[in-house]
Amino acid sequence: MKFSISAKKNQQTVRDAEVLCISKGTAKAKIFTVLGKKNSDLAANLSALAQKDDKRRFQAAIGTDTPHRLSVWCLESKMDLDVLEKECASFTAWQKAGNEARIIVYLDGLSKKDALTLLPVLMKSAGNTAYLPNTLKTRDNDETLQEIAFVTEYAADAAFQAVFTQTDAMVRAMNFARNLSDLPANHCTPDYLAEEAKTRAIKFGAKAKIHTPDQIAKLGMNAFLSVAKGSNVEPRFIELSYNGAKRGDAPIVLIGKGITFDSGGISLKPGAGMDEMKYDMCGAATVIAAFCAVAELKLPINLVALVPTCENMPSGHANRPGDIVKTMNGLTVEILNTDAEGRLILCDALAYAEKFKPQAVIDVATLTGACIIALGHVAGGVMGNNQELIDQILNASRTSNDKMWQLPLWDEYKEQLKSNFADLANIGGRPAGTITAGIFLSHFAEKYPWVHLDIAGTAWNGGKNKGATGRPIPLLLSFLVARAQMSS
C-alpha cells in the first residue's frame, strides 16, 4: 500500500476514485479551490448538502465530467475515534470490493485538527484492508487497494508530516506482523522467526543477536528450555537492540511471547480450533515489528526487543505436570499444567531484561484464555507494577484506539500461586486466571517499572475471518513516540 501527501493535485495521477472531505461548517471557498472553477456549482451544491446532512459521511455519485466515483465526506466537529475508524473501515472495504485500487483524498476542506485526526485513521484502515496474507494457495487473488494520494495544504506542516511518516511505518509494521502470525507453525518455526527478525532489524540499522540452545542454557533459562525440550525444533532467544538516544541512556525493553505452536504439551489442549495456536507468537511478531518501526523512524530512544521462541509439544522429552524447574533469577517453579507455558518462557526473558537496567519493560503475550472471558475480543488486559507507566500505556491505548483495560495485581492473589514443593506454582486455578498469570510474571519484574499486556483476545480473529490483527502495534508505537517526545 502506497501513501503520499502533496499540496497540489497532480492532474496526471491515475485514480479510480476521489474523496472530498469537508469539516461541518467549513467555508465554501475552500471547496472551490479543491474542485476547480468549472465545478463551482457542483461544489456549492455538495457543500450545501454537506452542511445540511447530519450524517458523518455520505456518498454522492455524480456523472458530470468525472469518469470515476466522487465521494464527499462530511466530518462532524467532534469526531469519535471509534465511529471514525468504523466508517473508514467500511469505506475501504467498499473501495476494495469495487476494485478502486488508487484513490485521491482531498483534505483541504478540513480544519487542520480534523485533517490530523482523519489522516492516520484512514491510513490504518486502508493498510489493514489492503493486507493480503502470503497465502500458500496455489492460485492467489491479489487484487487489492494500492494507493492513496492525500492532497492537503498541510503537506509541508511538520506535525502533519510526522503523523504521516509514523502511520506509514505503523501500517507496514502491522502488515509484517500479520504475515508472520498468519504463517502456520511448519513454516514459521523459532529459527524462521529469528531470521526474519534479524533481517528486518539489520535492514533498519539495528543490531540482532540470536541466542542458540547452548547459549540459552548457559544463561540459566531453564524454565524456557523446559518448554522447548518437548519439541523437535530448536528454541531461539532473539535479542534486538537499537540506539537512537545517547549511548548509556537506559533503554525501554519490549518482550514478546514467541510460542510458534501451543499444543498444550502433556496437558494437551482439545482438538477443536487447535490450529489457532499457531497465533501464540503474536506477541513476538508485534514486538519485533514495533521495534523495527522505531528503528526505521529513527526515534530518539534506546530500545531492546527480547523474544523467547519455541514450540510447546507433547513428547517423551516434554515437561510433565509436577516437574520443578529453576528459573534464571533463581526462583523454582512447579509446573502443575504444561499448558501454562507462556509464563515459563517469559519469566526467564524478564529476568534477562534486568541486565539492561531498563527505564521500562513491556511484555506482550497471548497469555490466558481467561483474558478472553474477562474482556472478550474487544480489549486486551493491562497489568503492572508502576501506575505511572500503566497510565502512559492506557493513554497510548486511547490515542491509538487500540483498546486495553487495567486489571489489578493485588497481593491477595499471590496466595493462589503457592506450591508445596517450589517457590511458585505455574497455575493459580480458575478464578482470575489472567491476574494470577500477571502475578506470576511480577515475581520476575521486581527490579524495574513493568507492564504486562495480555492480548489473547485481540491478537487475531477466529472463524470465517480468521487472521492476525497486528494489535497492539498501534498502541506500542503511540507509546514509544510519546516517550521519545518526553525525552527529547
Interface with ligand BES, residue 454, by CB under 6 A: no
CB of 415 to Zn ion, least distance (A): 24
DSSP letters of 357-378? --SEEEEEE---HHHHHHHTTT
Q: Of the listed pieces 103-111, 143-151, 200-208, 365-373, which binds ligand BES according to CB under 6 A?
A: 365-373
Least distance (Å) from Zn ion to the CB of residue 345? 9
Q: Where are the alpha helices (DSSP H) in 39-157?
A: 40-52, 81-97, 112-130
Is 247 buried (19+), middle (13-18) or exposed (0-12) by CB count in 10 A? exposed
Cα–Cα distance measured from residue 475 to residue 473, given in angstroms and rounded to the nearest whole number: 5
Using CB under 6 A as the binding rule, whether residue 376 contacts ligand BES is answered as: no
Annotated catalytic, 430?
no
339 binding Mn ion? (CB under 5 A): yes
Q: Is residue 16 part of the contact set for Zn ion (CB under 5 A)?
A: no
Cα–Cα distance between 287 and 111 in angstroms, integer?
A: 35
**Grid coordinates of 40:** 463551482
- In degrees, rounded to 5, the angle at the alpha carbon of residue 23 between the alpha carbons of residues 20 and 27 is 95
3-class SS shares of the chain: helix, strand, coil, % to 5: 40, 20, 35
**114 near ligand BES (CB under 6 A):** no
- State which of residues 152, 179, 181, 368 lies at the interface with ligand BES (CB under 6 A): 368
Contact between 311 and Zn ion per CB under 5 A: no
Compute how many residues bind Zn ion; rule: CB under 5 A.
4
The amino acid that residue 436 corresponds to is T
Residue with cell 469495487: 98
Helix H segments across 318-359?
342-353
Q: Which of 30, 257, 278, 343 is catalytic?
A: 343
Catalytic one among 269, 398, 403, 414? 269
Partner whose binding site includes residue 458, from Zn ion, Mn ion, ligand BES, none (CB under 5 to 8 Å by kind)? none
Applying CB under 6 A, the span of 19-27, 121-129, 153-161, 337-345 interacting with ligand BES comes to 337-345
Q: Does 262 bind Mn ion (CB under 5 A)?
A: yes
Query: Residues 341-360 vs ligand BES: string with x where CB under 6 A?
Result: xx------------------
Report the alpha-carbon distance of residue 70 to residue 62 in Å, rounded: 7
Per-position b or e across 162-173, b if 16+ CB within 10 A of its CB: ebbebbbbbbbb
Please state the closest distance from residue 214 (CB atom) to ligand BES, in A: 26
Question: Whole-angstrom Cα distance, residue 247 to residue 422?
Answer: 40
Report, in Å, the least distance between residue 345 CB and ligand BES: 10
In the block, which residue shows the cell 502470525?
181
Q: Which residue is nearest to Zn ion (CB)?
A: 262
Interface pattern 420-449 for ligand BES (x via CB under 6 A)? -------x-----x----------------
Among 168, 339, 348, 402, binds ligand BES (CB under 6 A): 339
Relative to beta strand 302-312, strand 380-384 is: unpaired
Of 145 and 225, which CB lies nearer to ligand BES in the complex structure? 225
Q: Does residue 262 interact with Zn ion by CB under 5 A?
A: yes
335 binds ligand BES (CB under 6 A): no
Separation between Cα atoms, residue 299 and residue 373, nearest integer Å? 37
The verdict on whether 343 is a catalytic residue reads yes
Applying CB under 5 A, the residues found at the interface with Mn ion are 262, 339, 341
Applying CB under 6 A, the residues found at the interface with ligand BES are 262, 280, 337, 339-342, 366-370, 427, 433, 456
Applying CB under 5 A, the residues found at the interface with Zn ion are 259, 262, 280, 342
